[in-house]
Amino acid sequence: MGTTAFSCLARGLLTGKVSALTSLEQVDMTKRATMKYNDGIPAGSRYDTHSISFDRVIKQLKSPEGQEQIRKVRELTQLAESGPWFSSYSMIHPSYCSPELNTTPQALALAWVARNPNTSTVILGVSDVDQLRENLQALQVLPKLTPEIMDKIEAILDNKPQPPVSVLIES
């Protein structure tokens, strides 16, 4: 039985473009138009144009747990965009550098989901053709997800599920 994955980009968080570190009111329009990853809420994004609908999500991102999620997305963004991979983990293991993935955080996230052997379908939620093109870049990232890259992702996320415990009871 396969798994159908939806909301693979965590409502946009894993695109690396959304951060609640800065409220919209604190950022002038010229800066919002040129925001890169994790600089706040980009102009024209759903979080901007439908901010009332995303109020609960934005508040959650401002919490300590949300800030930790954003920190992890920043590290994943570094891994996606280039190597070497620098983080607290690479400081402990300095030889742990990645080849350049040369991709976007969303393509890395979608490829990671698709790489899971239990995933049979990945549902893409896009608003326009450009987002579809960006998401389809995940197909180019899939062959780059070596065991070493997967280990780096798991080290950043630090949330890998443990396999179920099997107990054999003999009678």
What is the model's pLDDT at position 71?
A: 87
**Amino acid, res. 51:** S
Q: Which two tokens stand for residue 53?
A: 């609908």
Contact 104, 13 (CB under 8 A): no
Contact 18, 45 (CB under 8 A): yes
What is the model's pLDDT at position 83?
A: 54
Q: Which two tokens stand for residue 155?
A: 């080290």
**Amino acid, res. 149:** I
Tens place of pLDDT per residue across the chain (171 aa): 778 876 777 777 777 666 544 444 444 444 444 444 455 666 777 777 777 777 887 788 788 988 888 888 888 888 988 654 444 444 444 444 455 788 888 899 999 999 988 888 898 888 889 889 989 999 999 999 999 999 999 999 998 777 777 777 877
Q: In whole angstroms, what separates CA 166 from the centre of its chain?
A: 32
What is the model's pLDDT at position 156?
A: 93
Q: Domains plus CATH for the chain? A: 3-157 (3.20.20.100)
What is the model's pLDDT at position 99?
A: 57
What is the model's pLDDT at position 30?
A: 47
Regarding pTM above 0.75, the answer is no
Rg (CA), the chain: 18
* Residue-by-residue DSSP string for the chain: --EEE-STTGGGGGGT---SSS-GGGS-HHHHHT--TTSS--TTSHHHHTTTTTHHHHHHHHSHHHHHHHHHHHHHHHHHH-SS--SHHHHHSTT--PPP----HHHHHHHHHHHSTTEEEE----SSHHHHHHHHTHHHHGGG--HHHHHHHHHHH--PPPPPPP-----
Q: Which two tokens stand for residue 2?
A: 């396969």
**Amino acid, res. 124:** L
